[in-house]
Chains A and B, each alone.
Chain A
Amino acid sequence: GQQVMQIPQYQHVQEGEDFTTYCNSSTTLSNIQWYKQRPGGHPVFLIQLVKSGEVKKQKRLTFQFGEAKKNSSLHITATQTTDVGTYFCAGRDGSGGSNYKLTFGKGTLLTVNP
């Protein structure tokens, strides 16, 4: 079945440093979504990428979808303490199968030292 790998598992940074998390799928995706989850909270939808090579920005966050639609990244510039949380990617199968299923990576836990 489809697998989504996400690295790193943990990342600790000093406030002001940049942060990147990477997501790789074993199969081609129709689209990919990114979520942020705070401890004890629920996954909060950040963005969806659909097109090959797509790049989207939200303030200090930059999201990329690979040309082959099998990998993606989230980059945060100049982290702040409010960025703390676990960032998940979730892919939707592009092979025409069960496109309503999201396959989540295990997430990257970001901690920020003020």
Chain B
Amino acid sequence: NAGVMQNPRHLVRRRGQEARLRCSPMKGHSHVYWYRQLPEEGLKFMVYLQKENIIDESGMPKERFSAEFPKEGPSILRIQQVVRGDSAAYFCASSPGLALENYGFFGPGTRLTVL
């Protein structure tokens, strides 16, 4: 029973480059949630996706950030033209549906460092 998987675990980008973070949900889960954790802070909700649909992106910055969860493959969080303030740990969680069973099990995260 593989848990939520994320890659890469660490990502270094220079200012202005693009960052792509991937999240593979638990088997049988079709709902994915992305959270961001700034240093010495709690996690903050970014976006909630179902397969091929964005349900709630209210926590995501309006510019440079986008997320998708295609029919096949992992969910992708994409950050264009990264800035130093994007340096953070990005975690995702998944659930099988609205009942949110097993929701609370986060992946290992991607730690993004912007130079």
Contacts and interface: CB of A to CB of B under 8 A. Distances in A.
A90 B33 contact: no
Nearest to A46: B104
B56 A43 contact: no
Q: Is chain A's binding surface mostly helix, strand, loop or mixed?
A: strand
A42 B42 contact: no
Interface stretch (B22-30, B68-76, B106-114): B106-114
A102 interface: yes
Interface of B: 31, 33, 35, 40-45, 48, 55-56, 58-59, 89, 91, 95, 98, 100, 103-109
A111 interface: no
Q: State which size class the interface on A falls in.
A: 20 to 34
A38 to B, nearest CB: 12
Interface of A: 4, 6, 33, 35, 41-45, 48, 88, 90, 98-107
A102 B104 CA distance: 9
A98 B56 contact: yes
A27 B100 CA distance: 21
A42 B56 contact: no
B44 A104 contact: yes
Given A43-B106, A100-B100, A106 B91 contact: no
A42 B33 contact: no
Contacts of A104: 35, 42-44
A107 B55 CA distance: 28
Contacts of B104: 33, 35, 45, 48, 90, 102
B107 to A, nearest CB: 7
A112 B89 CA distance: 25
Contact of B43 (A44, A90, A98, A100): A90
A100 B103 contact: yes
